[in-house]
A and B are shown apart, each in its own frame.
Chain A
């Protein structure tokens, strides 16, 4: 836990015409410790219209507030709490914002009104869904409570048995519900999808929050969808969560076609780079230069580098906007180096494709690559940006070099599950949309291929020799 600095300062309290000097200290998010400087009866509770003090040159006035007697070990006499507007002192002192707890209610009329255009069939579906989910949750929670006192290994075995029997039936119930749901929303416009998705998530929020995967896709703690923790959950495809119900809710989206497609693409990249291994080194001492764009934790390296010889064959450049993902990639590379007792030549670049350097500077710094791949990036780029990025990457590809980029296809069977339940929106493309990104590249040979579920396609580009 990060310990915050002591925030001690002089202030004064206003009570009628009286101005009472005090020393105050930030002690908790919603209270200040205080000490009176001059003979104020500190053993009696009292009310004040305001506390006034200076912070970084700004005059701050907060109130009304109440003094609570509470002798304290640091020579403070009591505590000040707010009576009407409840100020978040953590925000004030550490984020320089005057933030009242009641601010959360400021958009209430807007949010309540947002349900006005929800279709009745959808409301009915959501009501039945929440009823059913509550029933399931209650039963699974009741079972959890019945074996809660068993020794850990027994608890695990009992839970596994429940998951394999009634749990799998619940998964089929979820499949059926999703089928019913898709039949209802199939003809909705984009605006209707957005509004109804918001409505659904508000209704089933506590179910979503209990499942680690669904909670993370909805909350997006790193500020964007598809972060490396979500990727790890997809790759692991395990039952995770604090209860049987939570585990099932976590696992269900991980078994859906889009999740399988993510696991498939990892294998696909390993296979494609495996083909490069069979071709061997380019020439004596020259490594195969590979660039992974939006690399995330680069789990696929575990599948690509399976021996010390493999490690000696490649030089990797891993680019990602997220420092945490790069750090995870670095740990993984270190583990592979230990495993094979060899060094892996790798460069980690913390860059966003939107702000990355101009091509001449990129070439100067990184050189040219024999193989460039990007799996989970183009799903977030609109056509002008996707086209610019693919052209930029193409320019730093060696002649004869190959590039593979992934994008979920417009027919992704998990699309509405992802959008409505996971709040995970992608930019979907058709094959033609994908190929059109290359329309200004004269020397490219391209083809589109799919992984087994058909949810995700890959644009394979080869820079021809001419």
Chain B
């Protein structure tokens, strides 16, 4: 059984479904429960969508990379996309948002707070951050990110696998 699976995809919305399907098969091979696979697939889609949305794809060779690794206790999902200095504002917001979400012991609390914030209708379009909160709460996962020396943004998620997460 393979421990990890990797993809490099064009920044194209249609690619998300393909990756999602292949990841689902890969996760099924590790005998994870249907609920867990559903949560992890949601996370993979959400991270790739963000990668496409915020990535800076200047040449055809610029891709979104996805790595999913399963070990005894955790599933780690890493999504890479190229960024340049114009992404700094987004990355600062991402930094604050991730630290805020992870500041709660129970991600449910972040979820409730975010839903409340979103229901205070903003007059101008602003990022709701609800996707990241869903990853933490529904996906039961720890989010983090960094920018590597090749100006690739790596957003990672670690999902703890416990007894009832397996079939």
Q: Mark A210-225, 1 if CB is under 8 A from B, else 0.
A: 0000000000100111
Does B145 belong to the interface (CB within 8 Å)?
Answer: yes
Would B154 and A380 count as touching, CB distance under 8 A? Answer: no
Q: Which residues of B contact A359 (CB under 8 A)?
A: 149
Would B105 and A358 count as touching, CB distance under 8 A? Answer: no
Does A197 belong to the interface (CB within 8 Å)?
Answer: yes
Q: How many residues of A contact B (CB 8 A)?
A: 52
- The segment from B2-10, B40-48, B54-62, B94-102 that touches chain A is B94-102
Given A352-B95, A354-B95, A355-B91: A388 in contact with B108 (beta carbons within 8 A): no
Does B72 belong to the interface (CB within 8 Å)?
Answer: no
A14 to chain B, nearest CB (A): 21
Does A91 belong to the interface (CB within 8 Å)?
Answer: yes
Main secondary structure of the interface of B (DSSP, over half): mixed
A321 and B146 alpha carbons, distance in the complex (Å): 14
Would A111 and B122 count as touching, CB distance under 8 A? Answer: no
Given A223-B99, A423-B103: A384 in contact with B149 (beta carbons within 8 A): no
Given A358-B151, A425-B105: A104 in contact with B146 (beta carbons within 8 A): no
Q: Which residues of B contact A225 (CB under 8 A)?
A: 103
Q: Which residues of A contact B154 (CB under 8 A)?
A: 384-385, 388
Would A55 and B76 count as touching, CB distance under 8 A? Answer: no
- In residues 15-66 of chain B, which contact A (Cβ within 8 Å)? none
Does A190 belong to the interface (CB within 8 Å)?
Answer: yes
Of B123, B150, B164, which contacts A96 at CB under 8 A? Answer: B123
Identity of the chain A residue whose Cβ is nearest the Cβ of B162 in the assembled complex: A189
Does A71 belong to the interface (CB within 8 Å)?
Answer: no
Would B105 and A355 count as touching, CB distance under 8 A? Answer: no
Of A193, A321, A354, A381, which contacts B105 at CB under 8 A? Answer: A193
A112 to chain B, nearest CB (A): 11
Given A223-B103, A388-B148: A91 in contact with B108 (beta carbons within 8 A): no
Q: Which residues of A contact B119 (CB under 8 A)?
A: 103, 106
Does B92 belong to the interface (CB within 8 Å)?
Answer: yes
A104 and B115 alpha carbons, distance in the complex (Å): 10
Would B124 and A385 count as touching, CB distance under 8 A? Answer: no
Q: A-side interface residues toward B, CB under 8 Å?
A: 55-56, 58, 91, 96-100, 103-104, 106-107, 110-111, 114, 189-191, 193-195, 197-198, 220, 223-225, 321, 352-356, 358-360, 380-385, 388-389, 392, 419-420, 423-425, 427
Q: B-side interface residues toward A, CB under 8 Å?
A: 76, 78, 88, 91-92, 95-96, 98-100, 102-109, 112, 115-116, 119-124, 140, 142, 144-151, 154, 156, 158, 160, 162-164
A98-B121, A114-B108, A190-B162 known, 16 other contacts, Cβ within 8 Å = A55-B123, A96-B122, A100-B120, A103-B116, A106-B119, A111-B112, A198-B106, A223-B99, A321-B95, A353-B146, A383-B76, A383-B158, A384-B154, A385-B146, A388-B146, A392-B149
